[in-house]
A and B are shown apart, each in its own frame.
Chain A
Amino acid sequence: MARTTSVSPAKADSPEAGELVATASGRYHVLTRYDRRVLMAMVGIPLFLDILLIWWPTFTSLYYSLTNWDGVGDITSQNFVGLKNYQFLLSGGYFQFWPAVEHNFIWLAWLTFVATPLGIFFAVLLDRDIRGTRFYQSVFYLPVVLSLVVVGFIWELQFAPTEGFINNAFGLVKTGRIIDWLGNPHINLFAVLVAASWRHVGYMMVIYLAGLKSVDPTLREAAKVDGANEVQTFFRVVFPVMAPINTVIVVLTAIESLRAFDLAFIINQGKNGLELLSILITNNSISESTRVGFGSAIAVILLVISLGPIVAFLSQAMKVSRS
């Protein structure tokens, strides 16, 4: 706020902050009342939204998770079941829970070790100003603009047992050796992961490409002068410089795999090998079955798992901004 130093004491409501102003109670504040109002609005509105949209749902989920509420009517004292929901989940009584956790981690591992490195690889290739860079960029990025629901439909058409492209292209339908890509619980998760990667690779590529463009070219020149080859230049020079982007990539990958939902839900509502935590939450609490309390318990567990990458991301982001 641009202002001139004033000799006379600032009026309580003037925008001339910085003066010591006596309040009614005789205490002095560094800020004028106006400043305090501005600050209160600037802190208060986000805080209000934060509480309304983040903390309120979080605590209601926690609250619901201690009940067996079915989503209809009020919660009465009879609805409280204590930690029974958690006990039932963690003890494996709910047969879909541990498979879902496992699938979420397979999803995470696949994206981390297959899809994301592939995206980075494409980004590095496209960064080398090969002919048609822009064209390839668009091609790889195209799936990202599609919603995952559309991606799901597209890949259902590829994977369909008798009418699908893949089984027909390899002649499996004619010879009667049909592979049930989406119905076989041993392979359908990987079929879905291929579809998920189709989109994820382009997403990672664009983010990484943007990062690569911002790397100081003199660093590479220096590496070249020092006699480093391409691989050494990338891993010893470029990759470390990209540390903030790398964190973003890792966190985005983790979040993508924790919120994985759409594809599996489109394909078979997340059953028969495609169980995911997010789908269990949906199927329990906002489906016809209406086990809101039980579904909330799963949601709380997913929240706890999600806190890991979120905390990692925030601490990294704070560190970067401090340094």
Chain B
Amino acid sequence: MGHSREGSDVSRTGKISIPSTGIELPLDLDLSRRDILKIAGYGSLAAFIAACGGGPSTSSSTTSVTAKGGKMTLGSYQSDSVPKKALQDLVDAFSTANGGTKVTVNTVDHGTFQNQITSYLQGTPEDVFTWFSGHRMRFFASKGLATPIDDVWNAVKSNYTEGFANSVKGDDGHVYAIPTSYYPWAVFYRKDVFAAHNYTIPTNWDDFKALCAKMKTDGLIPIAFADKDGWPAMGTFDILNLRMNGYDFHTRLCTGQEKWNDSKVTDVFKKWAEITPYYSPAFAGLTWQQAADQLLRKQAGMYLLGLFVSQEFLATGSQADLAQLDFFPFPHLGTSFDAEEALDAPIDVFMVTKKSPTLSGDLGQTKAFMEYLAKGSTQTAFYVESPGAIPTANDADQSKYDPLTKKAAQIVSSAKRITQFFDRDSRPDFAGPNGMQQFLLKYLANPTSSTTGLQGQMQTFWDSLGPE
């Protein structure tokens, strides 16, 4: 309090907005294209903002939406040390840039945060929270637990490609999130291990299996795999289903328009069983970090995981280890869907809650923060500290990317179809430890046996779920 807030004259760093005109005067005389767009955006959207019920914004329709100084709160699932520190630094930088806005960050263990998200959003959440795009974002938006931020989006959308724009739209067409980073899933390996054994990158399924067999004779675990957490196995299911049955079938399956006892799903499980003998021993008791360490310590040859595996290399290995990390896209399966080059590339976002008790007072700061997150410079700074994901903004400084990130951005842009990952594309009550996680663990416990009974259970379980 005492600081300027929503509807005050001083709106953003270095700018003065003239009340009731919607005009911002930049003090630093650095009026970029984006600033002009922002001003235009505010002017044209002011009425709309009022209509969306953007807090107690009773001020006249042309007042700027952002405010500096003051305070705001942020609920974060970034509980791992590397991204946690990067986020804190981001917040500090925002605070400095936004007139000393006091940002309280509440960091909760990643898994706990996810599990408690529904009660969290309905209770007394922070103003802003870290979350995922896809079905999981739309779900809470349609339940009225998130605040639409079309005004912020209009100010920053020129900095995003069409794909990102679609990923943050709710079922009602409003924008509910700011995408800040994304990462592809691919097959990771160590360049030095491949060089030492003269391995070549497999491009098709047979080569891939032959390489696995070769690695096994060389005393390596061919494929590092860990599924104690339940979700990593979904990555393999996704890619096999995408490549064997195509993007359309996969998304329909995720949303219940296809049946789990379809023979196409049986085929996926059969195909999968061809590589399960090459997995890490005792994988059902390993965490993804432990499997990443197998790759890091040259005990394992390959690892199908998201780009965030590099965080583990950075956390427990050295910069030299990180330099050896490389990946290749999942091999072709010889189906007509290979051409889609579909892959999982989940987008991480920030959203504004609805029920935060402080939101009405902090809305200006919150929106300033959301705008700040959409800046390339913000995302680049975060990326440099925590290089597990690729910035989303068009103006992110790509010269700062390491070769791995450049390659990751490349593989995603060359994909014709992109999915978010099973637990972001399907309904949460099916994807969690109650459902899909358990089904895949059951399958993996005995991959070669018939999956008819299992698939029947999956369909029965799906049918038992209530309306969404």
**Residues of chain A in range 267-312 having any CB-CB distance to chain B below 8 Å:** 267-272, 280, 283-284, 286-291, 293-294
A283 to B432, CA, bound (A): 8
- With a cutoff of 8 Å between Cβ atoms, the chain B residues found around residue A268 in the complex are 228-230, 433
**Residues of chain A in range 172-191 having any CB-CB distance to chain B below 8 Å:** 176, 178-185, 188
A286 to B457, CA, bound (A): 23
Q: Is the CB of A182 within 8 A of B285?
A: yes
Is B217 positioned at the interface, with any CB of A under 8 Å from its CB?
A: no
Which of A50-58, A66-74, A200-208 is near enough to bind chain B?
A66-74
Query: Total interface residues on B, using CB and 8 Å?
Result: 43
- With a cutoff of 8 Å between Cβ atoms, the chain B residues found around residue A28 in the complex are none
- With a cutoff of 8 Å between Cβ atoms, the chain A residues found around residue B114 in the complex are 288
Nearest Cβ in chain B — how far from A266, in angstroms? 11
Please name 29 pairs of A and B residues whose Cβ atoms are closer than 8 Å in the assembled complex, sorted by A.
A72-B118, A93-B464, A95-B438, A161-B281, A161-B285, A162-B290, A180-B283, A181-B285, A182-B228, A182-B284, A183-B228, A183-B283, A183-B286, A188-B285, A269-B433, A271-B434, A271-B437, A271-B441, A272-B284, A284-B434, A287-B432, A287-B434, A288-B118, A288-B428, A289-B434, A290-B118, A290-B428, A290-B429, A294-B466
A-B contact count (CB 8 A): 128
Q: Is the CB of A96 within 8 A of B438?
A: yes
Nearest Cβ in chain A — how far from B177, in angstroms? 17
Nearest Cβ in chain B — how far from A66, in angstroms? 13
- With a cutoff of 8 Å between Cβ atoms, the chain B residues found around residue A185 in the complex are 284, 441, 445
- With a cutoff of 8 Å between Cβ atoms, the chain A residues found around residue B432 in the complex are 283, 287-289
Counting contact residues on chain A (CB < 8 A from B), the size range is 35 or more
A161 to B143, CA, bound (A): 42
Q: Is the CB of A287 within 8 A of B290?
A: no
Q: Is the CB of B282 within 8 A of A178?
A: yes
**Residues of chain B in range 451-468 having any CB-CB distance to chain A below 8 Å:** 457, 460-461, 464-468
Besides A161-B282, A291-B466, 10 other A-B contacts (C-beta < 8 A): A72-B144, A93-B460, A94-B461, A96-B434, A160-B286, A161-B281, A180-B281, A182-B228, A183-B285, A269-B230
A316 to B281, CA, bound (A): 51
Show the binding face of B for A, using Cβ within 8 Å: 111, 114-119, 122, 143-145, 227-230, 281-286, 290, 294, 428-430, 432-435, 437-438, 441-442, 445, 457, 460-461, 464-468
The CB with the most chain B CB atoms within 10 A, among A73, A159, A272, is that of A272
Nearest Cβ in chain A — how far from B301, in angstroms? 16
Is A88 positioned at the interface, with any CB of B under 8 Å from its CB?
A: yes
- With a cutoff of 8 Å between Cβ atoms, the chain B residues found around residue A269 in the complex are 111, 115, 230, 433
Q: Which partner residue on chain A sits nearest B454 by CB separation? A: A95
- With a cutoff of 8 Å between Cβ atoms, the chain B residues found around residue A183 in the complex are 227-228, 282-286
Picked from B116, B229, B429, B468, the residue with its CB within 8 Å of the CB of A286 is B116
